[in-house]
A and B are shown apart, each in its own frame.
Chain A
Amino acid sequence: MLTKRIIACLDVHAGRVVKGVQFVDLIDAGDPATQAARHAREGADEIVLLDITATHEGRKTLLDTVRRTARELFVPFCVGGGIRTARDAEQVFEAGADKVSINSAALADPALIGAIGASFGVQAVVVAIDARRDRAAADPVRDAQVFVNGGRKLTGRRVVEWAREAEQRGAGEILLTSMDADGTRAGFDCELTAAVSEAVSIPVIASGGAGTVAHFADVFARGKADAALAASIFHFGVSSARSLKQELAQVGIPVRLPC
């Protein structure tokens, strides 16, 4: 039976895993390669590494980090942050990533989705979407507004129509972050996730709001997510993917166990 994926997310700044609120007060949470290996060992089904600074001068550091992280990692490995061109993506793949996540660059140039897929396969292209419900819209959920630049800039796109266009242009997966839920630890936005998941045939990874095991069960059942991203709850040994999955199995969510 196809299982629901638990994906460990590492935010990386200048070659280190960091934790912070709204990109401020960053706390050093360790070495990316070590952390990724630990998450994989502790049952994560996949690793996402997000370069949260993604400055030009940081690219070389990132590629080195990707190379070191990929070396001993035998689960799918996705890298995002600052990938603007097909050449950027190629370098990240050559460093050992299996997938790239693109967000602002895909909105600025939607043809980039197909360009990366043409060389590396559609499964390698994850389109990340940051969305916030639009209470003024006829359908606040399906017409949630899509933002870029870490949520600072409105794009004018609506979440469902953009997800559909991304799929049609060759995205392999959608990584959907609810800006309303992000950072709250009060649960995923299940309505938003379900609206996108039902609108596309490619997998949807839910992100933003994870705080408890019940939140994950909810986003898989009610939110129809194919995978869920967990960042903060895995850091500092608060919980492991294995213990999370064991609890999910008990409430009937299919997960990869033992792992």
Chain B
Amino acid sequence: MRVTVIDYKAGNLTSVVKTLRHLGAETVVTDGDLALVESAERIVLPGVGHFAATERLDQTGLSGAIRTAIARGVPFLGICVGMQWLYAGSTEAPQQPGLGEFPEMCTRFPEGQEKVPHVGWNSLEVRPGSRLLANIEPGEFVYFTHSYKGPVTADTAAVTQYIEPFAAAVERLNVMGVQFHPEKSGETGVKVLQNFLGFKLC
């Protein structure tokens, strides 16, 4: 069970790597070994902070390597900004394109009565058919910390409500993303990562 974790200098990888290892995965962290990424068994793209940080994925050629791996059917999981990167882009850094696996843009929560960022434990409404969230019961809680989010579409695997409904998870075949932090979401988060580790090249 090998997982290639992409390091693009956007925040701390320690928690993600630790949790994957806890689940028995062998983790390999890379910030630019394209051959390693192209031939990966599974890829996790963590990330916190600003969408602009994903520029480094283009500069290093990692974007192309990830695209190649995804086309090969390699299971891919983006976390937080790593999920947002799967879309066309984000209004947080409009000049920086995302991977475009999902054609929409990520946008900021509208200003109003509620605080932005959305920080804390919120519940998931899992859509039928999600393999990533297969054994997650309705209303289970996960930990979020973000100001930008993806829209609810046909590819949405779970919806969370904060100010408005948004995509807490996105999933199409081998391409998956979670807006929440599974590595910080207690047993529920551990189950999500376990599900991901159960995916095989498809």
Contacts and interface: CB of A to CB of B under 8 A. Distances in A.
A131 to B, nearest CB: 20
Nearest to B161: A1
A74 B190 CA distance: 8
A198 to B, nearest CB: 10
A74 B116 contact: no
Interface string B118-162: 111111000000000000000001010110000000000000011
Given A1-B122, A1-B123, A74 B184 contact: yes
A94 interface: yes
Interface stretch (A56-64, A119-127, A132-140): A119-127
A2 B120 contact: yes
A173 interface: yes
Nearest to B119: A203
Contact of A124 (B48, B122, B162): B48
B49 interface: yes
Interface in B147-202: 161-162, 181, 183-187, 189-190
A17 B155 CA distance: 47
Interface string A94-130: 1110100000000000000000010011111000000
A227 interface: yes
Given A1-B161, A74-B189, A203-B120, A93 B183 contact: no
A202 interface: yes
Given A75-B143, A123-B48, A256-B141, A5 B120 contact: yes
Given A3-B122, A124-B11, A226 B18 contact: no
Contacts of A124: 11-12, 48
A72 B21 CA distance: 11
Top 3 closest pairs, chain A to chain B, by CB: A121-B49, A121-B48, A123-B145
Given A74-B183, A74-B189, A120 B12 contact: yes
A98 B15 CA distance: 8
Q: Which residue among B10, B121, B186 has the maximum number of chain A CB atoms within 10 Å of its CB? A: B121
Nearest to B14: A96
A35 to B, nearest CB: 17
A3 B139 CA distance: 12
B72 interface: no
A172 B115 CA distance: 12
A156 B134 CA distance: 55
B19 to A, nearest CB: 6
Contacts of B183: 74
Interface string A68-83: 0011101110000000
14 contacts: A3-B121, A3-B141, A5-B121, A70-B18, A74-B183, A74-B186, A75-B143, A76-B181, A96-B14, A121-B49, A121-B50, A123-B119, A172-B117, A202-B119
Interface string A38-53: 0010000100000000
Contacts of B189: 74
A121 B18 contact: no
Q: Which residue among A1, A72, A172, A227 has the maximum number of chain B CB atoms within 10 Å of its CB? A: A1
B133 to A, nearest CB: 17
A5 B144 CA distance: 12
Interface string A221-259: 000001100000000000000000000000000001001
Given A2-B120, A123-B117, A124-B48, A74 B19 contact: yes
Contacts of B119: 123, 172-173, 202-203, 226
A168 interface: no
Contacts of B11: 120-121, 124
Contacts of B181: 76
B117 A202 contact: yes
Given A1-B161, A121-B49, A75 B120 contact: no
A45 B120 contact: yes
A104 to B, nearest CB: 23
